[in-house]
Chain A
């Protein structure tokens, strides 16, 4: 069963605006979450993570928000840049699973001029 879901397969946003990517999960045992970014013909690259004991983590233009009661997290990119056009994957893990992750299906982001 799909424990991590990204319900929006694609997102188009204008350069300079905010991109908001959403992710829902079903397993309350997950205690950390990550976002990966993937360009065509390349492997995913780690972007940002958050522990379940926090509700926000910020790194430059990227902020991840976690709402544990709703089992929902989001990634905000502000401001969006053309180089941000990529597929973004949400992933979740359990602390004692030694890094094994459950991934969502991804959201294709297109940043237009």
Chain B
């Protein structure tokens, strides 16, 4: 069985500060890992994904995430927050043998001016 835990339902940072959103996963097989972003009144959009290639994955809008197998983590970071980064972020896990994707509960990011 697979699962995802996102630590912190809300994270608040100042504009220009580091963004760190935490995600831990559980999977009995090599996982695919994803971060999606949801802006108000919109569907989810893919930010980045890990599929067993490089452990440091770069995505859109300056975000990146590092796959750490020993820690079963896939934390999302961005060096400098922008007001437009305010949204809800979902970590998700899937596997190579199927299509089903398990989403975390989401972390809402607030960016203060």
Q: Do A and B bind each other?
A: no
Chain A contact residues, CB within 8 Å of chain B: none
